[in-house]
Structure 1
Amino acid sequence: MTSEQTPDRRGEKVCDPAELRALFLFEKLTDEQLEWLCADGRIETIEPGPVFREGAAATCFYVLMDGELVLTKLSGGAEIELVRTEHRGSYAGAWMSYIGDKVEQTYESSMYATKPSRFYVLDADVFARMMHEWFPMAVHLLEGVFFGGRNINARIGERERLLALGSLSAGLTHELNNPAAAAVRATAGLRERVAGMRHKLAMITDGKFDPATLGPLVRLQEEAAAQVAKAPELTPMEAADREDTLGEWLQDHGIGDGWNLAPNFVQAGFDTDWLERVSATLEDAPEKVFEGAIRWLNYTIETELMLNEITDSTTRISSLVDAAKQYSQMDRAPFQVVDIHELLDSTLVMLSRKIGDGVRVVKQYDRALPPVPCYAAELNQVWTNLIDNAVYAMDGDGTLSIRTRRENECVVVEIGDTGPGIPPEAGNRIFEPFFTTKPMGVGTGLGLDISFRIVVNKHNGDIRVDSEPGDTTFSVWLPLHRPESNQIDTESNAEGQT
């Protein structure tokens, strides 16, 4: 390319080395280097409007000669102004092209000209070649800083994830142990009840039950088994009153330990009217036969109750395993389009033991929300960090609120707590790495920093906090639509300008 250039639709002008030397960016260059810049670059006059868009392929490096530029970045579905300047020599664009294809080369922000402005423009590949030829040592140093910093962040992030995983694994083990132990207990009890039913069956075969009453009794047994599945929910007071009534009835009818049998009948939803039907069926039977029939029915009820307990326990275990898979995104692609509520619910399940019984969880989900394009496993880490902080702030007693809504083509997830709030002096620093308000040894100061980078850098979203005593809310904004170029797992530094 020569310095004699043909004007294009943007008003390209001839480059003057002396004018470039007047800019602080180029003032230390030699005459030969300035000539090279003019030969391989160009001057463009750009009318007011967009120059490049965030997320588009970074093709040019821009230096302001005259006029005004504005840099913006998407945050929460809206463009936030980062820089507005008329300072000659300010630069933006493909300034990281010297790294080459080791990182995704896209514009990290959008740039606008607010009035007719002149720019020195250098194509990205030319800028990269210039950097490597003129400043080879500087390029190596900058690459080292860039990739070293990224690797450090990755290692720190991995350690934070491992710490969280260790804590969650302990909680999950506890949660799995409870239903597993219940299933083992119920199975052992079931074996005893089945043995008792075999004994009663032997009594029947010995002819101790009149064949005329055996049929109705079997029908009562089937009715008892079916009733267990639809037993009503009773308050402790209601259950205690019914147990007293049934216990007295059984005592009055010669069942010596009727008080021990009464809770099973009550739990299955039976009352004295049903027992009167049993009594009427065996009206002419000897007292021992009547007692045997009552115990036989009790075994039936206990068996059904234990089968229900085993079913509930195994279902709970299956649900916990499913939640763990959803949380870890095991065997799933890193980038997906998902129902954000499934991610939130799986995180709540994984954190249920840490949340504890003293914290009330209130969910206000907008079920009309569309699926969200995201890195699901990494968003689960964000929810973990925010919920863990909220629970810690409430010290085991308060209300954890989780709300979802749609605003500005974004899904907004709000996680709130009723803790004491964030101290005013810490409000502007909570997203800084290694800053924490927790005591030494309790917090690493990395949770919110990692959350910020996941939401802002990887999802082009935003994370905000509003806090006052008794009401702290973190809001996470996730765009519903993302450029294709942003669907690649990259982390790069913020746009450079002076």
Structure 2
Amino acid sequence: MSGPLTVKDLCVVDLLHGLEREQLAEWLAVAEGQDVAAGGIIVEQGVPAPGVHLLLEGTVEMFMVSDGRAEPMGYQHAPTWMGAIGVLTENPIFVRTQARTDCRLALLPADDFRRLALAHPAVHGRVMRQIAPVMQRVQAIESSRDRLESLGTMAAGLAHELNNPAAAAKRASAQMAEALDVLSSTLGMFVDAGIERADAQVLSELQREALARAAGLTALSALDAADAEDAIAERLEDLGVEQAWEIAEPLAAAGLDEAWLEQVVTHAGPALDAALRWVAAALTARGLAAELRESTRRMSELVGAVKAYAYMDRGAVVEVDLHEGLETTLTVLGHKLKQTTIRVVRDYDRALPHLTVRGSELNQVWTNLLDNAIDALGESGTITLTTRRDGERALVEIADDGPGIPDEVVAHIFDSFYTTKDVGRGTGLGLATARRIVVDRHGGSIIVGSEPGRTAFRVWLPLTAPD
């Protein structure tokens, strides 16, 4: 085992560059030394982030683990740091970290890291500036559709769905950098204004009070929030605060009142503007951290839905719950449903046994049938999904209450290259492909029945896989 950690050990990691010896001593006080032999796992994928690891000596390798398979994702060489983004956003670790050589590390526990990072804005800023590049790498991974070549329509919709949380995360990280600049410069402004130690202590307590109020406050109604914001903005303008509207919103959203504001006026003196912007920046930073956490959670859910939809890394033939395939298909078509008021009704027989099928191919069938149902309904209507056992077969019915399909179209609906869609919108291969997958690949059958007000596609699949 290596010797105890020292300030000299910590200062070589660029995350802590620029801190004074006394400040480094605060980090050293919470750091836990770790020695990990080559091949040892430092932190496992999917677990809550235990803290931030400072890699002092050695090399580690990152792996993405799925169904027991570990895919290499890259290396980290000492000195460096790992896991800070997960700690600040409170998300589980998304890769396995394993020692490639004998490694010496220092672990900064999650709660201690969050506390010290907020106390040292330079450290917090270095972490937050890495969020946008990480999000861009995640987007790049999600954009790799090598295994979904036949799912062009779904891919376009998924990109739209992923863009929303990714754009929110990128926007929040940029705004976070602005808030951190304010937080890091305020101390100097207090010193320049000659703020006494006692007044500075009160201002610090008032900031903590503001953060506590914000954390415990339910969302104000739009009208109440606007009234509160206008009242604070008017008071700030009376006090001579420049661009009062910029800071009135976060102060009002935190439920801060006249009494709180007057205490700030009393103790801030000539540094009133700086003190108020300092509090507003802290409130903004907390809100942005929550937004980042929600954005990354949504991205993770979408990635999970895509993996389930395509049965990635599970082989061509898999044992599945039919309902899982239907639900993940609804998820990847969510971008289309969100633009409508279409209802989805489920009538599932959960007692159906699992079937051995070509999972990703079967999901293409559900995609074609559901996509057609959505198009048939337009902006409103109901889609009903029904599953039940029919002898030695499982029956899946996808029905809509749209206008129906003319008899002359029904006669050719499973023919290759036959389509009733406008030029450029349909190839005529969707239902032909669906029939081939069901009949030729799974030994099942598919039919359609239609009349005005109801169209139903019925798919039968054998409960026992054909030889």
Instruction: Describe how 1:95-174 pairs up with structure 2 within 5 A.
Output: 164-174=150-160
Question: Residue 318 of structure 1: CA displacement?
Answer: 2.7
SS at match of 2:385: strand
Q: 1:284 to 1:241 in 2, by over 3 A?
A: closer
Question: Residue 299 of structure 1: CA displacement?
Answer: 0.1
Alpha-carbon distance in structure 1 between the residues aligned to 2:221 and 2:396: 36
Name 2:361's counterpart in structure 1: 378
Name 1:442's counterpart in structure 2: 425
The CA deviation string for residues 323-347 of structure 1, in whole angstroms up to 9 with x for no partner, is 2222222211222223434323332
2:189 to 200, 203, 206: 203
Name 2:20's counterpart in structure 1: none
The reply to whether residue 391 of structure 1 matches residue 374 of structure 2 is: yes
Q: Partner amino acid for 2:168?
A: A
Alpha-carbon distance in structure 2 between the residues aligned to 1:275 and 1:242: 9
Q: 1:367 to 1:435 in 2, by over 3 A?
A: same
Question: Residue 168 of structure 1: CA displacement?
Answer: 2.8
Q: 1:333 to 1:270 in 2, by over 3 A?
A: same
1:270 to 254, 261, 264: 254
1:308 to 269, 277, 290: 290
Alpha-carbon distance in structure 1 between the residues aligned to 2:428 and 2:349: 34
Q: Partner amino acid for 1:302?
A: T
SS at match of 2:167: helix
Q: 1:197 to 1:440 in 2, by over 3 A?
A: closer
Question: Residue 298 of structure 1: CA displacement?
Answer: 0.7
Alpha-carbon distance in structure 2 between the residues aligned to 1:243 and 1:365: 48
SS at match of 1:364: strand
Q: How many residues align?
A: 319
Q: If the length of structure 1 is used for normalisation, what is the TM-score?
A: 0.55
Name 2:244's counterpart in structure 1: 258
The reply to whether residue 247 of structure 1 matches residue 247 of structure 2 is: no
Q: Partner amino acid for 2:258?
A: E
Name 1:7's counterpart in structure 2: none
Q: Partner amino acid for 1:184?
A: K
Structure 1 segments unaligned to the other structure (5+ residues): 1-160, 489-498
Name 2:331's counterpart in structure 1: 349
CA RMSD of aligned residues (A): 3.5
Instruction: Describe how 1:225-240 pairs up with structure 2 within 5 A.
Output: 225=211, 232-233=218-219, 236-237=222-223, 239-240=225-226
2:274 to 289, 292, 297: 292
Q: 1:364 to 1:270 in 2, by over 3 A?
A: farther
Alpha-carbon distance in structure 1 between the residues aligned to 2:194 and 2:325: 60
Alpha-carbon distance in structure 1 between the residues aligned to 2:155 and 2:274: 49
Q: Partner amino acid for 1:386?
A: L
Alpha-carbon distance in structure 1 between the residues aligned to 2:350 and 2:444: 20
Could you say which structure has the greater relative contact order, defined with CA pairs below 8 angstroms and 6 or more residues apart?
A: 1
The reply to whether residue 182 of structure 1 matches residue 165 of structure 2 is: no
Alpha-carbon distance in structure 2 between the residues aligned to 1:399 and 1:365: 17
Contact map agreement 1:228 1:305 (CA 8 A) in 2: no
Structure 2 segments unaligned to the other structure (5+ residues): 1-146
Contact map agreement 1:369 1:411 (CA 8 A) in 2: no
Q: Partner amino acid for 1:304?
A: R
Name 1:32's counterpart in structure 2: none
Contact map agreement 2:268 2:275 (CA 8 A) in 1: no
| Structure number with bigger Rg | 1
SS at match of 1:282: helix
Alpha-carbon distance in structure 1 between the residues aligned to 2:420 and 2:279: 61
Alpha-carbon distance in structure 2 between the residues aligned to 1:437 and 1:249: 64
Q: Partner amino acid for 2:245?
A: W
Q: Partner amino acid for 1:424?
A: D
Alpha-carbon distance in structure 2 between the residues aligned to 1:279 and 1:326: 52
Q: 1:260 to 1:192 in 2, by over 3 A?
A: closer
Identity of aligned residues (%): 40
Name 2:436's counterpart in structure 1: 453
